[in-house]
Amino acid sequence: MTTIAVFGAYGHTGRFVLAELKERGLVPLALGRDEERLRGTGADHVVASVDDPISLDRALAGAAAVINCAGPFATTAAPLIEAALRAGIPYVDVAAEIEANADTFRQFADRSRTPVVPAMAFFGGLGDLLVTAALGDWPTADEAHVAYGLSSWHPTAGTLAAGAVSHERRAGKRVRFTHGRLEYYTRTDLPVVEWDFPEPLGNRTVLGDFAMADIVTVPSHLAIPEVRTYMTTEAAEDLAGGHEAGPGRPAETFTVDVRVRRGGEERRVTAQGRDIYAVSAPLAVEAVQRLLDGRARATGVASAGRMFDAGDFLRALAPHISHRLTSTR
C-alpha cells in the first residue's frame, strides 16, 4: 500500500485530503503538532513540527509523498520541502499565499530534481491549469485574465491567518503581475468592473487586480506579461469581514472564467463546481498520483500547468470540477 503523508491533516482542507486519499485506495498518514487532534482524524498519525527537522524526517520515513495543508505556508513550506528533499519524495502543497509560492520557486528552483508542486489547489493550481489549457498551441499570449465567480466566501481560520501574514509581508501594499513582473503598489481601492460569466452566473460585478496565487503560478512557466485576477464583490466582502467560518460552513458555488488574448484573438475556458476548499483535495491528490506513476512533465519546482498535461488533468477532475471551452475567436 502507498502511504501519503499529510501535514496539517486535522485542518479544514487537510480533512478533505485525508478522505480523498482513502477514496482512491491510498493510505493517509496524518502529521501535525497536536496529538489529540491527530487522533481525531482516525488515520495513522505521527506528531511532527516544522520547528523540529528530526521529527519531520521521522514522520516522512516510508512515505511515498507529502501534501502540505498547513498554513501560513510562509512558515511551513520551506521546512517541509527541505524534509521532502532529504527523504527524496515529491512535495505538494495547497498554498494560496502569493509570497510563499514565490519563495518556493525562488529558493528551490535550482536545488532539486525531486518534484515540488506549490499551490496545487483551487487558487493557483486550477487557474494555472485553465490558462495553460486555454493557451493550447499558442506559444505565448499578451494577456491572461482569471475571474473568480464565487457565490460567497466563508474563510477558514487557516485562510485568515495566511491573509494576515501576507498583509504584513506586503506592509499594506497591493500586488499585481504586470509588465512581466510582480509589482507592489499603494492604492486604497481596487477597480470595479463588470464581468460577463457564462450562465448560470451571468453578469457580475468584480474587483480587478484582486491578487491570487495565479499571478505566481502562471508566469512561472508561461511567457505572458500581463496576468490579472478578479473576484466577485460579494465574495471579496465576505473575506474582508474577517469572520471565521464555524462548524457547518456553507459550501459556495464557483465559476472560474479564464480568457487569454493574443493580438485580436481570444480563447476562453470556464470551470465550475462547489466548495473551494473541498475541491483542493482532488487537485492535490491527483497531482500526487501523477507524480508517483510517472505522468510528470518536469522535474524540480514546477506549477500545475508546467508539471502536468493540463487538459488531461482537468478532465480527470470530473465530477468534482467541470470545464469547457466556451469560445474561440
Task: Report the 3 state secondary structure along 188-250.
Answer: CCCCEEEEECCCCCCEEEEECCCCCCHHHHCCCCCCCCEEEEEEEHHHHHHHHHCCCCCCCCC
Among 327, 323, 325, 252, CA closest to 283: 323
Question: Does any domain span residue 251?
Answer: yes
- Domain range for 240: 123-276+319-328
CATH number of the structural domain spanning residue 197: 3.30.360
CA 35 to each of CA 5, 39, 66: distance values in angstroms, whole numbers, following the listed order: 15, 6, 19
Same domain, 220 and 324: yes
Assess if residue 314 is contained within a domain: no
Phi, psi of 6 (to 5 degrees): -125, 105
Q: Does residue 312 fall inside a structural domain?
A: no
Place of cell 499565499: 97
How many whole angstroms separate alpha carbon 102 and alpha carbon 105?
5
* CB 21 within 8 Å of CB 27: yes
Q: How many domains does the chain have?
A: 2
Closest CA to 128 of 28, 36, 220, 254: 220
Tell me, yes or no, whether 178 and 286 share the same domain: no
Query: Is 62 among the domain residues?
Result: yes
DSSP-assigned beta bridge partners for residue 231? 148, 207
Examine the domain organization and report whether 177 and 324 are in the same domain.
yes
Cis peptide before 72 (omega within 30 of 0): yes
Classify the C-alpha dihedral 16-18-21-23 as positive or negative.
negative
The per-residue pLDDT for 111 is 85
Helices and strands in the chain: count of H runs, count of E runs: 12, 15
CB 20 within 8 A of CB 6: no
Per-residue DSSP letters for 63-94? -SEEEE--S-HHHHHHHHHHHHHHHT--EEE-
83-124 tens-digit pLDDT: 999 999 999 999 999 999 999 999 999 887 899 999 999 999
Residue 313 lies in a domain: no
Residues 287 and 234 in one domain: no
d(CA 300, CA 33): 28
C-alpha cell at 247: 462548524
Strand partners, 145: 228, 259
Same-domain check for residues 258 and 138:
yes
Same domain, 112 and 192: no
Clarify whether residues 18 and 84 are in a common domain: yes
Q: Are residues 76 and 112 in the same domain?
A: yes
Residue found by looking up cell 485525508 in the block: 18
The CATH number that applies at residue 284 is 3.40.50.720
23, 127, 77, 181 alpha-carbon torsion, rounded to 10°: 170
List, for residues 300-318, the tens digit of each pLDDT value: 999 999 999 999 999 999 9
Please indicate, yes or no, if residue 13 is contained in any of the structural domains. yes
300 and 254 part of one domain: no
Q: pLDDT tens digits, the chain, 329 residues: what are they?
A: 899 999 999 999 999 999 999 999 999 999 999 999 999 999 999 999 999 999 999 999 999 999 999 999 999 999 999 999 999 999 999 999 999 999 999 999 988 789 999 999 999 999 999 999 999 999 999 999 999 999 999 999 889 988 888 989 998 899 999 999 999 999 878 999 999 999 889 999 999 999 999 999 999 999 999 999 999 999 999 998 877 766 667 789 999 999 999 999 999 999 999 999 999 999 999 999 999 999 999 999 999 999 999 999 999 999 999 999 876 66
Same domain, 268 and 219: yes
Q: Do 152 and 209 have their domain in common?
A: yes
Question: Which residues on neighbouring strands pair with residue 144, listed in sequence order?
Answer: 227, 260
Regarding whether 134 and 239 lie in a shared domain, the answer is yes
Closest of 22, 10, 12, 1 to residue 285, by C-alpha = 22
Give the pLDDT confidence of 162-182 residue by residue, as tens digits. Answer: 888 898 999 889 999 999 999
Three-state SS across 21-44? HHHCCCEEEEEECCHHHHHCCCCE
Asked whether residue 86 is assigned to any structural domain, the reply reads: yes
CA 10 to chain centre: 18
In a domain, 48, yes or no: yes
Secondary structure element (H or E) that encloses residue 281, with its range: helix 280-292
Q: What is the pTM of this model?
A: 0.96
